[in-house]
Amino acid sequence: MSILAQSESRSSARRKLEEIAVVLRAVRSVSRRCLELTIQGLLNRWVTAGLAGDPREPAPWCCPRCETDKRSAFRRNGSYTRRLQSLAGLVVLQVPRLRCRCGAHIPLRFPVLEPRAATGGTSGSQSSRVSAKG
């Protein structure tokens, strides 16, 4: 095999590897966005269902101050950003917040999110790992 043929063979292999890397980045990006949309939808649907359910049924959460669990006592109070590290990349969510009519913030425990880990005095974003629990 000539030197010229070896050079062309190497550049062809390198080009194929670069194309594969581009495809993998695109797949990872689409997977990350699908994961982000799915988890965000689950969070929003869970809170919306808890607020809009049968008023005679208790809400899926309870106020830590006045201890009410009546659905009519709660309202949406914005959201906060939560960053999760997954195999597909960093997933950014807007986690809903609730407030009771007495003014207390309602701590929510979402079935699809682990509690945030306490950090030892570091500033910046907090991130958790998305894990599949079976």
Identify whether the C-beta of residue 67 lies closer than 8 Å to the C-beta of residue 56: no
Q: Rounded mean pLDDT of the chain?
A: 83
Identify whether the C-beta of residue 22 lies closer than 8 Å to the C-beta of residue 14: no
CA distance 134 to 125: 28
Residues 6+ apart with CB under 8 A from 108: 47, 61, 95, 96, 97, 98
pLDDT in tens, 38-68: 999 999 999 999 999 888 899 999 999 999 9
Lookup: tokens for 12: 């062809």
